Amino acid sequence: MKTLKVDHIGIAVKNLEETLKFYEDVLGMECTGKEEVDEQKVRVAFLPVGDSEVELLESTDPEGPIAKYIDKKGEGIQHIAFRVDNIEQAIETMKEKGIRMIDEKPRYGAGGAKIAFCHPKSTGGVLVELSEREND
Ligand code: ZN
């Protein structure tokens, strides 16, 4: 497997529109799209910056993973995603090396990427997402 770059940083927020003001009006970044990911019960706003992007995540359901995260830890950085060249191979490598995977098989995340999460207990406390995109 090859890890190519930081794909995005996932930030859990209570209110997408409110938080966008900071990123757009203060930092001058541009939101290039919003998407609802039903499976994750989340609404995502994409803010590309340089070679990676910030993804703001607002829960669409009080029982969703982002709502639960905010209940426990408050708003803030929820996960870091690394772009890999081959996600199936990356998952195999992780398992071979004893890394606990939340997703043993890739699934589809925001923007049509194939993604898989590694358990924070195996990664030094960070929820790490592996991400592969077709166009790369
Ligand atoms: Zn993500």
> For the chain, what is the total number of helices (H) and then of strands (E)?
3, 8
Domain that holds residue 42: 3-132
The total domain count for the chain is 1
Express each pLDDT in 84-107 by its tens digit: 999 999 999 999 999 999 999 999
9 CA distance to ligand 1 middle (Å): 7
> How confident is the model at residue 110, as a pLDDT?
80
Average pLDDT over residues 104-126: 93
Q: How far is the CA of 96 from the centre of ligand 1 (A)?
A: 23
Give the CATH number, domain containing residue 45: 3.10.180.10
Q: What is the mean pLDDT of residues 58-80?
A: 97
Pairing relationship of beta strands 52-59 and 33-37 according to DSSP bridges: unpaired
Q: Is the pLDDT of residue 48 over 90?
A: yes
